[in-house]
Structure 1
Amino acid sequence: MSAVRTEVTVGAAVVAVAVGFLVYAGQVSGFSSSSAGYPVTASFRSIEGVTEGTDVRLAGVKIGSVTDITLNTQTFRADTELTIEQGIELPDDSAVVISSEGLLGGNFVEILPGGSPFNIEEGGELEDTQGAVSLVGLLMKFVTGGDEE
């Protein structure tokens, strides 16, 4: 009878650890985070390394996430929808840049606030965008010493 009780206790502990891990993984990945926020859009020439769920940061602090990416077949640009946390007001002339966390780090969307006295409204578009920079392209320019595009 003691062996059965031990097996049940160990099994319950394993299930509790698994549930805890799933909750933690959901919080880290942003899957379980609340979607309380307002949408804004931005259009990029290249959004390489960014997917739905990627962080949107301001001064290094996460203020939202990428919620949708679609290809605009008329302009051949990547149209994105960003959800920004409620209470964070962005000037309507803010810039949106795809930044990298380092040589081996992932990409994230960085907001560089502008100086406009007017804030972007829900559903508005941030027009000043800079797409992802290709590390391979930069290395090739350095290696070849080329100014060619």
Structure 2
Amino acid sequence: MKRSAIETIMGAVVLLVAGFFLVFAYQSTDLRLGASYRLEARFNAVDGLTLGSDVRVGGVKVGSVVGQSIDQEIYQAVVAMDVRSGVNLPVDSRAVIASDGLLGGRYVKIEPGTAAETLSDGGRIDRTEDAIALEELLGKAMFLVTGEDGQ
């Protein structure tokens, strides 16, 4: 009987510690649900951008990528983003697929425009700039150095 009481107490301690770590992980990440609105942007290439990638304005995370699909008519990548409410982006804002350093992941960088009208839920950012693949840049640089035509 004494052994089963010790096992029960140890099991309760393990569950308590696991619960503590779950609460800590939840509070230290951006998993908390808050009010947000959905935006869409279309790109020719989104290489390396994944679901959950950051959406940043001025280097500050204001949202996340929540969906990616392909437009079957014009074959562009359609990226859906949730942006935190209170971040009112002008309709002439620009979305760029940027890189987090040389080998870092990709994120959507939003450069706010100057228009008085702002994007609302379901809005679309029309001004976009595609991701540039590192291999493509290295290939262009190599052909510039060697003087060969990369065509």
Unmatched runs of 5 consecutive residues or more in structure 1: none
Show the counterpart of 1:77.
76
1:102 aligns with 2:101: yes
Q: SS of the counterpart of 1:64?
A: strand
Taking only aligned residues, the RMSD between alpha carbons, in angstroms, comes to 2.4
Whether the 8 Å contact between 2:55 and 2:108 is mirrored in structure 1 is yes
Kindly state the Cα deviation for residue 22 of structure 1 after the two structures are TM-superposed: 4.0
Task: Label 1:63 to 1:120 Cα distance change in 2 as closer, same or farther (>3 A).
Answer: same
Summarize the alignment of residues 83-122 of structure 1 with structure 2, pairs less than 5 Å apart. 83-122=82-121
User: TM (normalized to structure 1)?
Assistant: 0.84
Task: Label 1:40 to 1:12 Cα distance change in 2 as closer, same or farther (>3 A).
Answer: same
Partner amino acid, structure 1, of 2:67 = D
Summarize the alignment of residues 1-149 of structure 1 with structure 2, pairs less than 5 Å apart. 3-25=3-25, 30=30, 32-34=31-33, 36-145=35-144, 148=150
Distance between the aligned counterparts of 2:51 and 2:99, measured in 1? 16
Unmatched runs of 5 consecutive residues or more in structure 2: none
User: TM (normalized to structure 2)?
Assistant: 0.83
Q: Sequence identity of aligned pairs in percent?
A: 37
Deviation track 1:25-61 (CA, whole Å, cap 9, x = no partner) reads: 556665x431521111100111111122211111111
Structure with max Cα Rg:
2
Partner amino acid, structure 1, of 2:14 = V
